Amino acid sequence: MNNIGDHKSQQSIGHALKMKVIHIPCLEDNYSYLVIDEKTKQGAVVDPVEPEKVIGVAKENGVEVKLVLTTHHHWDHAGGNEKIKELVPGIKVYGGSIDNVKGCTNKVENGDKLTLGADINILSLHTPCHTKGHISYYLTGKEEDDPAVFTGDTLFVAGCGKFFEGTAEQMHESLCVTLASLPKPTRVYCGHEYTVKNLQFAQTVEPENAKISQKLTWAQQQRQSGLPTIPSTIGEELEINPFMRADLPEVQEKVGCKSPVEALRKIRELKDNWKG
């Protein structure tokens, strides 16, 4: 499957890229991320729930951390913000303007733009539903870099977050409009390692989808080897993620629905009750 090759090629050319992403496993199954502008060695950290660990990784890589990108207010994403402000005096902590993010110094709205170092541009995308003010951060570097999007708990590999503070309409807009319209090679870095379970559930929705089966086999091998299943890509999510595929008539038919939003609501309901 292409995906496995893609991961290898990304790793082998990693040193040539101007925008480097290091995943940092935290808590039980969370991911924080360190994004490095290779030219200036300036960094941004995404959801640094274990700040000491994240700053340790930055030091190992000779990186000066300049900013925090918080996807949403839940403690396992925003809970390290106050501490990281103590560890890095003057650090800017970004979070959604209506999300009440702990330790936030700079509120962002949909469409707000930030920069990191010499080459990295950051676009804030409002992706509500899991929380009202959830922000996904879309990062672009130089042309040879594939873009990256940090989706917190809105989009997971083959899944999406629970509808805690929003509606199926909002999740449809967030997943199938906002995120689905990003370039297909965009690397997806999500907030949790839920991939194996998500793919097992996806198989119950589309049992004959070969891409889901292939990705599941790969993901199980990765986890058995103690390796992560991130990143995926937007292009891949459109092939394996039942929530992003709710726009397809054949997926709607599978769950007995006639519209994308209805199908998305139904798939979330099925997932919430799934005992897999």
Active centre residues (catalytic): 72, 74, 76-77, 130, 153, 192
> Which tokens is 39 given?
């030219």
SS3 percent helix, strand, coil of the chain, rounded to 5, is 35, 25, 40
HSE value, Cβ hemisphere, 13 Å, CA-based, for 157: 25
> Which tokens is 178 given?
């906002």
5 — phi, psi (to 5°)?
-60, -40
Rounded Cα–Cα distance for residues 41 and 101 (Å): 27
HSE value, Cβ hemisphere, 13 Å, CA-based, for 11: 9
- Residue 164 makes CB contacts below 8 A (sequence gap 6+) with 129, 130, 131
Rounded Cα–Cα distance for residues 132 and 76 (Å): 17
Residue 239 CB neighbour total at 10 angstroms: 19
